Structure 1
Amino acid sequence: MSYHGGGHRKRRYQGADDHGHDHRRDTFDTPEQKLRKSIINLGEVDPVQELPRLANDIRAANDAALATGGPAIPAISEGFRIGVTEQPFKIPYYAALLRLLHDPPADPEATLPTDGSPTLGKQVLEDFWKGFQAFLDKLAWREIRFCIHFFSHCTVAGLVSSQTMFELLRSFTVVLQEFGVSHGRAMKAGLCAAEGLMIAGPIMLKSGADVTEIITAIRDYSESVISTKTLVHPVVKLHEPSPVIEHADELLDSALAVLNALKAEDFAQTADSFAQPYVDFPAFSAAPFEVPSVLVPPEVIELDGLTTETGEDAQVKKEEWPAYFVRLFDNDVTPDPTTPSGYAIKSAILDILDVFEVNRKECARLLLEYPKWTLQGTFKPRPGAPEQEPVPEKNWQLENTVIEVTLGSIFLLPESTYKPIYYITLITEICKLSPQTVGPAVGKSIRKLYGLLSDGLDVEVAHRFAEWFSVHMSNFGFAWVWKEWVPDVSLSVRHPKRRFVRKALEYEIRLSYFDRILKTLPEAMQSPEAQCMPEDAPGPEYEYDDPSKPYHDAAQSLLSLLRGRTKAEDVVTHLDSLKNTISETAEGDVNVSTVVRTIAVQSLLHIGNRSFSHFLNAIERYLPLLRNIASGGGASTTGSSNIDARMDILNAVSGYWKRVRNMVVIVFDKLMQYQIVDPTDVVAWTFVYGEASTSAVGKTTFDSFQWDVLKGALDKANGRVTIARKKVTALRKEADDNAAKAIATEGAAMDVDAEAKADVMPVAESPALTTALKAFSTLTREQKAALSRALDGFVGYLAAADKPNPTAAEVITEDAWHNRVNWNEKQWETWETWCWFRHFCRAYSPYLRNYTQSLEEASVSKIGPSDPAVDLFKKTWNIATGQDI
């Protein structure tokens, strides 16, 4: 075939259809892939009706595979593994499907094995067990737990021996008794044992298994960590020696409460709590699968051989804490997680949030479709759905339940499992899918959380609440009924509700415009006297723009040089002359050096305030200038330490961006990154200089802005140590590999005795490794200094011997808490400071534990004699450092 004219007509290929589609590019699934997909897609319409058809399809596929050379067992079991571990809400139906695969085919013409080989279902189960063993070897806890659910359902279906299944669950309780077991490992193992027993308990009880043994092991562990729970409860009552039980539920404690409730009624409630689609099948008469005995592998601790200057282990493992989830609604609206049905529902929703974190749109869809996988009558019917007979003690509201569990995940302390932005955007997606039903649930949740602010909602939870509220409002036109909160304007300006309103509006302004947000407020909240909104729109505050202000001419001369991109050395020379000029005209006790530094830093920020890229360009161009200022000297200074100079830099930044406080945190981060200031400097500024420059009242207060600054500094110090450690470890591994290669090469080249071979083993450290070790040592000292300075700051605020704080004792007693409606600003400030100290201890617990002894000698020793405040300070410190468990 030929074409004339050299046009752009589409070439036709053999195999192309009439529309020119080239079928050679089509991809087709193999029979194994189709088989896996059919198993994974179980229940797209109706899982109960699909089970018999899917079982027949699997048998047919296996017969076809046998006819062509091999069984399809690996593909089938892989489909089961994927379905069980990535779609946990389908696990009961996968157990039912496996039960059907144990039965002979319904087709009378089908050929049955005559050699005594196991049924198709048993072959699949045996292969599935191999996958579970691989998960166990890797300590893939999420997959392990879902497999335990699957085996437990199979036990109820008669496919797995109840006695061997009980022994499997017991093997997880052994983890709870390990010496020094981390809470994360213990909680995961405990949940595996507890949830497996919830599902398979009725069968185990009938077989004579001592289920009390498992319950007792979980209870003993839970009681051993009760003091730890006091630091992570989302509702704070400082006077309580143990965590309060209202407003939140701890995950492992909820599981324990469910087991006790089930055991009290011989597990009769299991059938009403967990779907069991296989219970109506004929009794399984064949021999059940004997679960092999297993041993849960120990935690893998990677030792890199690095130690701090105190000889302590430098390896930091993230500390895992008890998981408390906020309760927002009554038990007739959302399920109570301490009941069997409630626990089953809420843990299943948590699993969906966990598994589908990679795809929030799919997660939102599955959450709203979740009733499809629950027992009938669990949730109220959706609008337009057929009416159902309500089930006593159920009939909950799906949307309220989903929002409550999602918000509980956001507010986990000390940090959420995933970044809060995942859960925030997920709630937005759920609202978009069903705004008429989800919107009211979100509104009710906001009101419940706002109410808890008066009842002791943790400051970090309130911080995240404000972030979520502002982002959610930005996605829906900033439409909120602010007039509901107008009466609270009469509360103390430091009351948590007043702080929340200011913080939320500050975040909203960042996401929009000052004037637009102002118009969303009722008139009573717009006035300056209400102190809800800032007095002015966000923006820089250059002190030297006004010609009537002192040093205007000096600042303008410097500004001209910077705008003209004058060389840094020439600018330094100009600063020296400027200093002499100001000294000649200064009056009173003016610190000329501070004035010059402030002019220089603010002028540099002023030329870079148009955008973040302008700011970075200005900073990078004038790094020599900043280093000179930080050293405290003139052009000849070579980097000597000057704490006052560095504090002047930080004060100048905070003064320039005092109306945009998030910019203070950003600029501080860049100054630390370029090593103009150290993390320890920023920590010191947070407690001492930060108050004066941000107009804080008093010297014993700590707020969310200071926490953002402190967190940025500590994270920078800790991050540098982590990077340095990884670098040293990599260089050591490289040196060891090179030494091994050298020995192998030397041994192959000549035949020498063992003593001669030993002579080639020592290998000198490379210059790169020597440098990396020195850097690591320096950075660990910096890390300890930053932590010590932070602890010093909290000691000074709350429990210092030389600065007794009478207000501290006024807010930590039970009587004081009951009288909180009459608290003044000072008392609310002190309460907030206590809460931030608690959060500091739990958030940085792994790092504090590395330096416990030295920090106690340097900081904790400064606290005063025993009194309620001192005792609470010590208790909080001891819990965080593992000395009071």
Structure 2
Amino acid sequence: MSYERRGHGGGNRRRYRDDYDDRRREVQESPEERIRNVIIKFGEVDAVEEIPRLEKQIREHEPLNVSNLSEAFRIGVTEQPYKIPYYATLLRVLYERPEGDTTEGAPLGRLILEDFWKGFQAYLDKLAWRETRLCIHFFAHLTTAKLISADSMTALLQSFTAVLDEFGVSHGRAKRAALCAGEGLIIGGPTLKSHSSASADEIIAAIQAYNDTTATQQWLVSPTTKMSSTTVSNENAHELLDTLLSALSTLNENDFADTDNCFPRPYVNFVDLEVEAYNLPSVLVPPEIIELDSLSPDSGEDTQVKKEEWPEFYLRLFPNDISPDPSSPAGYIVRTALLDIIEIFEVNRKECARLLLEYPKWNLPGTFKPKPGATVELEPVAGKDWQLESTIFETVLGAYFLLPEAQQKSIYYIGLITELCKLSPSTVGPAVGKSIRKLYGSLSEGLDVEVARRFAEWFAVHMSNFGFQWVWKEWVPDLALTVQHPRRAFMRRAIEFEIRLSYHDRILKTLPEPMQTPEAYTIAEQAPGPAFEYDDPSKPHHDAAQSILNLFRGRAKAEDVVTHLDTLRSTLESSEDVGLNVDATVRSITVQSLLNIGSRSFSHLLNAIERYLPLLRHLASGGVSSTGGNGIPEAKADILTAAAAFWKYNRQMVGIVFDKLMQYQIVDPTDVVGWTFLNGAVIGQLSELAGPMNLSAFEWDLLKGALDKANGRVMIARRKVTVLRKEDDDNRARVKASENESMEVDTDAKQEATVDSPALTTALKAFSSLTREQKAALSRTLEGFISSLAPSASDANPNPHTRTVIADGAWENRDTWGRDEWNAWETWGWYRQFCRVYSPYLRTYSTTLYTVSFSRFDGASNPAAELLKKIWNIAIGQEA
């Protein structure tokens, strides 16, 4: 008994001690942190009702720390922009002096605003564009509240429109500056327009003048295209600056009287203060920061390879009575607010989903339809009453489908949609279904091939998160379309992605019976897996493959395998098979046998490749025997063909194996590019239906993997050279300093300081070699597209329909298109994507690439060649 009591008491003591340790570990907020957090978190229940209590709490806080208060305002404004009107109202309240306060000096609100400006200047100096733009929103609200002078606010906006007139201004810089000026004018328009109508007109005109210069760029990144037509349709997509200008023009026509219907302005309910308006200091937008961390492959000088920024096109999914028209003032404000939430809360998708669904409480009542069962206190606002979930989905998917690349990783947008569905399945679920059906219908209306690929990826992942439940029978009638029609291509692609996330048999059971048949060409007849060509004893070379397999299983040395291959080659040469390509056969047997050993898992694959790297290099060099081979290009092509044939039922593994072969330098990116254009279309379940020289999403993935590998190697080599060069410069500086201090310096040290170190010399040689490889890969890709889309008489397997799909009236006749026309249309789409994504690298080698690839068309009348050159010129910035 005593033992049990002691044990019980000891347990209590341990528990009390643990509780005490937990309390000691709790983070204790200081009074400064507490008041700052209260300001940041204010408004979670009812912002307007909380303002008087928060004002009292701020005034009673001692000691007064203005910088701490202004920091809280800056955090709230830049990280919770949907609260900006209420932060402006709180600052307006802090401008008032409490009853009985006779102290002299500036009011508390003025002190906070002055310190807030210092933070804004810091954002501007760092070119933190998002924070700068949101601070301008705050200033614009304060201008309407008459706390900031209209003159200084106008001057601030004009300092950003001045950026648009800079010589050679990049589109990214100009776009962000235009958004700062334009959105500031939307919010502060009523006051700024009444103060100086001419200044408001000048701001709009400056943005319009710049936007007019981006017409051809807009055509290249529009998510819907008619290929040859340069007219951008705004029915299904809206460009960001276009919508900004449309909203500004609409408001300007009525002297910004409609601003009250765009966003809440609670500060207008207060009586105007008799205070001197704050004059914002004049600013000059700093120039772009150019980091000299890269090298020119031609001159060896420092240059900047900068990612190209394009106009932002957002896809529309629903009519204006379902989701707001982003070209209207209220619609622009709603979409901008949702996009800011999506971008800011990328670090926490669950919190982002919650805030998106709670957004209506930060907007005007009646903007969105009330939730089912909610009490309706006010009548819907005329022209609004939109569906919140549909609006959110249109915004999220619009950001996901930005071309050429989304601002965030695709997994973020997909995960965010999943979180939205979990939070409110009854309301979000129907919006998902409507979005999928709308996108599916757009596939035959010119939807860009890259957008279609992302759509298939999202669809598959979303289905995997919710039991793969979809009403496939709705799409059964589309099986009557030609097999390469975009809708049928989407079905195949989405199901292939679904199988990667699950199992073949499970996905097969979710499909209606008409889609399960081999004749439907919707799902593969068998599950993804290896296809070892020499596994069947009745097939030729079965015994030869087994002998090699036994060597691999016994972990024989690479040298022993090479010796065995020489014997095998001699045996095959003495066979009676006249048409046998001995070297190609030996490579095929060897590579497929090695992949068969590594087919059990990724670790088996890597172990097999790493163990037999000398063997693979021997095969790639063409040296399958001591007497020679077919040459390096043919040998590498044979290795790629063998790998693709082994994994023909699992195209994902084809890309993985190709990547590993490039990683271990068995093949070069140029080899993969060349192989893809010549052989990529013959891999997979539709090989018998593949048209001549067509490029699908599978081939594009292979091309992209090869180009990214080549570009990535150059980037790594460039960074290494930069580090080593800095070390050399530091060494030279130390030697020079020693010379100044003492005349007696070691002669060897002087000599070493005047020449590049061996490490830098080696790194420069590697960098030069990799840049040549990069240029070769880009050149080979461009040549492949030209041969496919504007073939000459000497090109092998040309597609005669590549010109048909860009002829006058071709798009209107697309209902009559067959396999080859749709193949050609998709190949054109991937050429556009190639030029968009890799434009910075194409611009680096533009002169060489143009001379090699396009000079053949000079002086010739060829519509396909003209379109090829037009897309090229836009991508490298030679056509405004």
TM-score, normalised relative to structure 2? 0.95
**Alignment partner, residue 767 of structure 1:** 758
**What are the Cα deviations for residues 678-708 of structure 1, in whole angstroms up to 9, with x where unaligned?**
0000000110132345526333311110000
Question: Number of paired residues?
Answer: 867
Aligned counterpart for 1:471 among listed residues 461, 464, 488: 461
**1:855 and 2:863 correspond:** no
CA distance, structure 2, for counterparts of residue 405 and residue 266 of structure 1: 29
> Which piece of structure 1 moves more, 469-478 or 682-691?
682-691
Partner AA of 1:58 in structure 2: I
Instruction: Report the alpha carbon displacement of residue 385 of structure 1 after superposing the two structures with TM.
Output: 1.2
How do 1:157-556 residues align onto structure 2 when only pairs under 5 Å count? 157-209=145-197, 210-304=199-293, 306-309=295-298, 315-387=304-376, 388-556=378-546
CA RMSD between the two structures: 2.3
**What are the Cα deviations for residues 799-848 of structure 1, in whole angstroms up to 9, with x where unaligned?**
13334754122111341111101111111111111111111111110100
Partner AA of 2:779 in structure 1: S
CA distance, structure 1, for counterparts of residue 582 and residue 435 of structure 2: 54
Aligned counterpart for 1:867 among listed residues 855, 858, 862: 862
**What are the Cα deviations for residues 652-678 of structure 1, in whole angstroms up to 9, with x where unaligned?**
010000110011001100000000000
Call closer, same or farther: CA 1:19–1:817 in 2, change over 3 Å: closer
Call closer, same or farther: CA 1:20–1:274 in 2, change over 3 Å: closer
CA distance, structure 2, for counterparts of residue 857 and residue 243 of structure 1: 30
Identity across the alignment (%): 59
- Secondary structure at the aligned position of 2:269 is classed as coil
Partner AA of 1:148 in structure 2: I
Instruction: Report the alpha carbon displacement of residue 311 of structure 1 after superposing the two structures with TM.
Output: 7.3
> Which piece of structure 1 moves more, 365-374 or 808-817?
808-817
**Alignment partner, residue 787 of structure 2:** 796
Unmatched segments (≥5 aa) in structure 1: 66-70
**What are the Cα deviations for residues 619-651 of structure 1, in whole angstroms up to 9, with x where unaligned?**
111111101100110476999961100000000
Q: Could you tell me whether the CA contact under 8 Å between 1:229 and 1:242 is conserved in 2? A: no
CA distance, structure 1, for counterparts of residue 754 and residue 631 of structure 2: 38
Partner AA of 1:782 in structure 2: E
> Which piece of structure 1 moves more, 635-644 or 193-202?
635-644
Call closer, same or farther: CA 1:287–1:98 in 2, change over 3 Å: same
Q: Could you tell me whether the CA contact under 8 Å between 2:294 and 2:718 is conserved in 1? A: no
CA distance, structure 2, for counterparts of residue 855 and residue 310 of structure 1: 17
Instruction: Report the alpha carbon displacement of residue 118 of structure 1 after superposing the two structures with TM.
Output: 1.1
**1:846 and 2:837 correspond:** no
Call closer, same or farther: CA 1:172–1:594 in 2, change over 3 Å: same
Partner AA of 2:25 in structure 1: R
Instruction: Report the alpha carbon displacement of residue 11 of structure 1 after superposing the two structures with TM.
Output: 9.1
**What are the Cα deviations for residues 454-474 of structure 1, in whole angstroms up to 9, with x where unaligned?**
101000000000000000000
Call closer, same or farther: CA 1:459–1:24 in 2, change over 3 Å: closer
**Alignment partner, residue 57 of structure 1:** 57
Call closer, same or farther: CA 1:259–1:20 in 2, change over 3 Å: closer
Partner AA of 2:816 in structure 1: N
Partner AA of 2:196 in structure 1: G
Partner AA of 1:100 in structure 2: V
Partner AA of 1:92 in structure 2: P
**Alignment partner, residue 882 of structure 1:** 877
TM-score, normalised relative to structure 1? 0.95
**Alignment partner, residue 121 of structure 2:** 133
**1:581 and 2:576 correspond:** no
**What are the Cα deviations for residues 571-595 of structure 1, in whole angstroms up to 9, with x where unaligned?**
1111111111111114122100000
**Alignment partner, residue 76 of structure 1:** 69
CA distance, structure 1, for counterparts of residue 208 and residue 803 of structure 2: 34
CA distance, structure 1, for counterparts of residue 208 and residue 401 of structure 2: 25
**Alignment partner, residue 714 of structure 2:** 721
CA distance, structure 2, for counterparts of residue 590 and residue 431 of structure 1: 58
Aligned counterpart for 2:649 among listed residues 659, 667, 678: 659
CA distance, structure 1, for counterparts of residue 729 and residue 79 of structure 2: 40
Partner AA of 1:283 in structure 2: D
Aligned counterpart for 1:812 among listed residues 798, 806, 816: 806
CA distance, structure 1, for counterparts of residue 321 and residue 413 of structure 2: 25
Q: Could you tell me whether the CA contact under 8 Å between 1:198 and 1:259 is conserved in 2? A: yes
How do 1:547-696 residues align onto structure 2 when only pairs under 5 Å count? 547-634=537-624, 642-694=632-684, 695=687
CA distance, structure 1, for counterparts of residue 125 and residue 469 of structure 2: 51
**Alignment partner, residue 97 of structure 2:** 104
Q: Could you tell me whether the CA contact under 8 Å between 2:152 and 2:281 is conserved in 1? A: yes
Q: Could you tell me whether the CA contact under 8 Å between 1:157 and 1:284 is conserved in 2? A: no
Q: Could you tell me whether the CA contact under 8 Å between 2:586 and 2:624 is conserved in 1? A: no
Partner AA of 1:76 in structure 2: L
Call closer, same or farther: CA 1:87–1:305 in 2, change over 3 Å: closer
CA distance, structure 2, for counterparts of residue 720 and residue 622 of structure 1: 23
CA distance, structure 1, for counterparts of residue 273 and residue 474 of structure 2: 61
Instruction: Report the alpha carbon displacement of residue 734 of structure 1 after superposing the two structures with TM.
Output: 1.5
Call closer, same or farther: CA 1:447–1:485 in 2, change over 3 Å: same
CA distance, structure 1, for counterparts of residue 223 and residue 143 of structure 2: 38
Q: Could you tell me whether the CA contact under 8 Å between 1:238 and 1:813 is conserved in 2? A: no
**Alignment partner, residue 48 of structure 1:** 48
Partner AA of 2:55 in structure 1: A
Unmatched segments (≥5 aa) in structure 2: none
**Alignment partner, residue 92 of structure 1:** 85
Q: Could you tell me whether the CA contact under 8 Å between 2:691 and 2:819 is conserved in 1? A: no
Instruction: Report the alpha carbon displacement of residue 239 of structure 1 after superposing the two structures with TM.
Output: 2.6
**Alignment partner, residue 68 of structure 1:** none
**Alignment partner, residue 148 of structure 1:** 136
CA distance, structure 2, for counterparts of residue 305 and residue 787 of structure 1: 19
CA distance, structure 2, for counterparts of residue 785 and residue 6 of structure 1: 80
CA distance, structure 1, for counterparts of residue 828 and residue 85 of structure 2: 47
- Secondary structure at the aligned position of 2:275 is classed as coil
- Secondary structure at the aligned position of 1:415 is classed as coil
Partner AA of 2:328 in structure 1: T
- Secondary structure at the aligned position of 2:810 is classed as helix
**What are the Cα deviations for residues 139-191 of structure 1, in whole angstroms up to 9, with x where unaligned?**
01111111111111111111111110111011111111111111111111110
Q: Could you tell me whether the CA contact under 8 Å between 1:474 and 1:508 is conserved in 2? A: yes
- Secondary structure at the aligned position of 2:600 is classed as coil
CA distance, structure 1, for counterparts of residue 70 and residue 513 of structure 2: 65
Q: Could you tell me whether the CA contact under 8 Å between 2:95 and 2:109 is conserved in 1? A: yes
Instruction: Report the alpha carbon displacement of residue 396 of structure 1 after superposing the two structures with TM.
Output: 0.3
Q: Could you tell me whether the CA contact under 8 Å between 1:679 and 1:716 is conserved in 2? A: yes
**Alignment partner, residue 740 of structure 1:** 733
- Secondary structure at the aligned position of 1:385 is classed as coil
Q: Could you tell me whether the CA contact under 8 Å between 1:647 and 1:689 is conserved in 2? A: no
CA distance, structure 1, for counterparts of residue 454 and residue 70 of structure 2: 43
> Which piece of structure 1 moves more, 163-172 or 14-23?
14-23
> Which piece of structure 1 moves more, 276-285 or 330-339?
276-285
- Secondary structure at the aligned position of 1:544 is classed as coil
Q: Could you tell me whether the CA contact under 8 Å between 1:55 and 1:101 is conserved in 2? A: yes
Instruction: Report the alpha carbon displacement of residue 480 of structure 1 after superposing the two structures with TM.
Output: 0.3
Q: Could you tell me whether the CA contact under 8 Å between 2:622 and 2:632 is conserved in 1? A: yes
Instruction: Report the alpha carbon displacement of residue 763 of structure 1 after superposing the two structures with TM.
Output: 2.8
Instruction: Report the alpha carbon displacement of residue 370 of structure 1 after superposing the two structures with TM.
Output: 0.5
Call closer, same or farther: CA 1:332–1:6 in 2, change over 3 Å: same
